[in-house]
Structure 1
Amino acid sequence: DKTVTPLLYEERIPDLSTNDKAIDAWFDRITDKLSDKQRTDLKRKFSQKGQIYQTEGRIELIAHDISDHFQNFKRQGLKGQLACDSKASAIQYKKLLDKIGKVTSVVAMSAPDTREGHDTVDGESSDAVQNWWKANIVDAGYGQDEKAYTKHIISEFSKDEGPDLMIVVDKLLTGFDEPKNTVLYIDKPLKQHNLIQAIARVNRLHQKKQFGYLIDYRGILKELDATIADYQDLAERTQAGFDIEDLKGLYSRMDTEYKKLPGLFSDLWTIFDGVKNKQDGPALRQVLSPKIDTIDGQLTDTNLKMREDFYDALTVFANCMKVALQSATYFEDKSFDVIDPNTSLDKRSLYKKTLKFMSELRKQVREDAEETVDYDEYAENIRTMLDKHIGGVEIQESKGAYLVGNMGKTAMPEDMSDDEARNKKDAITGRITKMIDQDLADDPYAQEYFSNLLKQAIDKTKEMFDAPVKQYLLFADFEEQVKERKVEGIPIDRFSELDPKVKRHVQAYYGLFLKHLASGNTLTEDECFNSAILIDEIVTGAVAEFSINPQEIENQIKRKLLPVLFKTIGMDKAKVVIADVVQITRLGVAGHH
């Protein structure tokens, strides 16, 4: 519609050479004195930290590829972004791009700070990150004013003579628009809302742009296809076009998410209500560290529940902080400028300091409980070992560009390669699973029916392992069945004359009779249909009459339905059907009323 630029997606996966024997031998050697639990923990952390993605050989290979790929855009005066998964990688990319010398770049990231899921500062080489931050921000005239630095690099990026690329980690994938921004190089996992928001950075109109480009070094095609399909489904239901604002009703809004921080901050500290001095680290640690006592003759850790509650509260708080740091609105919200009287810090600084402190506390407590091994002891050796034994070979030859607007739609099977068919089948499987879990929650019979069919379809594809196109066709057909709710035993034609909003609800109620009267069903098709219509009328009336009192809605449904259903299916069956009707109503199946 000429309001945004079409997007092209291209996958450029780096080929790496790995010395698997050397890596396995190193792990066996280094973990020889660890317990099984600690050995498992070290391998889990090694996997979670994505160390292979951060190896020097891989990043150097991609840096050369970006430097060459961007030349045509550079000549046109256009800009690009490189999205990384860690501050250490961003700094490494910056150094390598500068060394290669074909493109100029600037790094946008938040101040170094302990994050959820990591046991070192930023989960990275903390010295390298801290040193870079000090040299380029603190000692460069910005001091600790992160907002001033961010404002400056955005301003420079928008200038024709400014940097070609902006390297981003946890900031500026969202919250700012630059029409010249044309290429997004992706070297981090992106999902759903964040993925849509990120790709929208390069779809703004500009006279020199025919397309916006997504260059993927991480293999996010499956996630992109599923996300676009979700978006297109939303667009169809709202009769809207490709407007990012439409997603506000589907995904949690960033400005809503970060406003949860004060409550989550309070929840976290509630765990330590019994500690008078909240600055007393050892006292806080004592609340959580193992305390073994004998209860009913069994040795029991009486602090285990407290420790688990702490882990959960910290996880939720830290995840919310991650979302907040991606939102420009969070940094502009004046309510977070308020100074805390106990610490003399504004709320943003207080939350960051608390997260760092609590993450360190969790690390200590996990070691007290022998739940983990200190990753810091191995981190540098792991980095050195991987840099030595993993090298970048070449970027895989691209299979061509995909028009993002066509993703999520059915392609002609005869045009598909085996790999494309497998990717499409995997994407469809993800969408079907989501539809069954979420979209069919208001139709228990259809949900159970399609769950069983999905298991059968997955088993069937195992027999077609050498025929990926046939697998794709099987799942493409299955997806259409789920979308249209074509359930065996449901007389679809009977519902065709109903208002579309009513049809879905009546079909769900009809399915309840098939679900609960499967054996010995004495009701005819007409009786099931008429009863389903009656249930919908009763639910409609209850919602209309008691719209502000959910409990009374449920009471009214039970009062009206019980005598009617008792006559046709008996007391026991009536109760279970009514329970499902109430649950469906809670899920919003009566939302049209």
Structure 2
Amino acid sequence: MNTTPQGNEQHSSHIPALATLINLGWTFLPATECMALRGSQREVVMKPVLERVLRQRKFEFKGQWYPLSEQAVDQVIREVTTPSMAQGLMEANQSVYDMLTLGITVTEFIGGKKAQPTIHLIDWQNLDNNEFHVTEEMDVLSTQGTQTRRPDVVAFVNGIPLAVIEAKKAASGNPNKNMVEEGISQHLRNQKNDEVPYLYAFAQLLFAISRNDGRYGTTHTPLKFWSKWTDEEFDDRHVQGIKNQPLSASDKNALFQNKPPKIRAYFEQLWSQSLVRAHCGASPCTQDGPTKMKAPHSF
């Protein structure tokens, strides 16, 4: 088996980044499973996941704790999944940000008495009460329904797509073409009105990565303001430990599902020889890329 490092996107960026995210606590969903949970290419929120999380939420009223009613669950899902795009993408993104950070107020009736609890989409106090998923090659239908865009990696918290990653190959063959900037350009293109702005109404972190180079921004961040990710909490030894942690058999089965057997064989050989970390050591998932998301502790 030839374990010479490969330069294409799957070998040098996609799979190393996904493997690192899995080791950080994210659950990998094959594109087909993600699509089933989304319902269609137009939808970007995995509503069944969000509903499952909301059904576990409780609110306090007069010293007692109560689960959300069906009406409250429906209200929260409806508000989250229908940010108004009428005032533009930035307003929609701000609306989602406010819901993520402040929660959504619902009306409940307990014993005939009115309660108006604020329901948090993310449990910031106990992160174990949240669900973290990541998928790849997620098809999203454009606004006019004429084409699809396919972000390389999308990370979800409680079914909401909060991070979008463009993972590029090591080099284009053109010395004047920077692959990270190519990834940023794709993000900026995809945010246009006739592209897939609905996805970027939810996304709170955007990454463009290529081998040991990576930058991040937010919705509508111009190219020149995309920044290197820095993290004072993770040192190199901690990152190396994450990278070198073996994937479980179930994680590998999910990650390589529907991929050519030779791709799995390539990585199995690398991992078995502990070469993958040397191969991936200069990859985006090690230094300035998704590793720094600290998932699931980053959100």
Do the structures match in fold with TM over 0.5?
Answer: no
- Identify the structure with bigger relative contact order (alpha carbons < 8 Å, sequence gap 6+): 2
Structure number having the greater strand percentage:
2
Which structure: larger Rg?
1
TM-score by length of 1: 0.16
Structure number having the greater helix percentage:
1
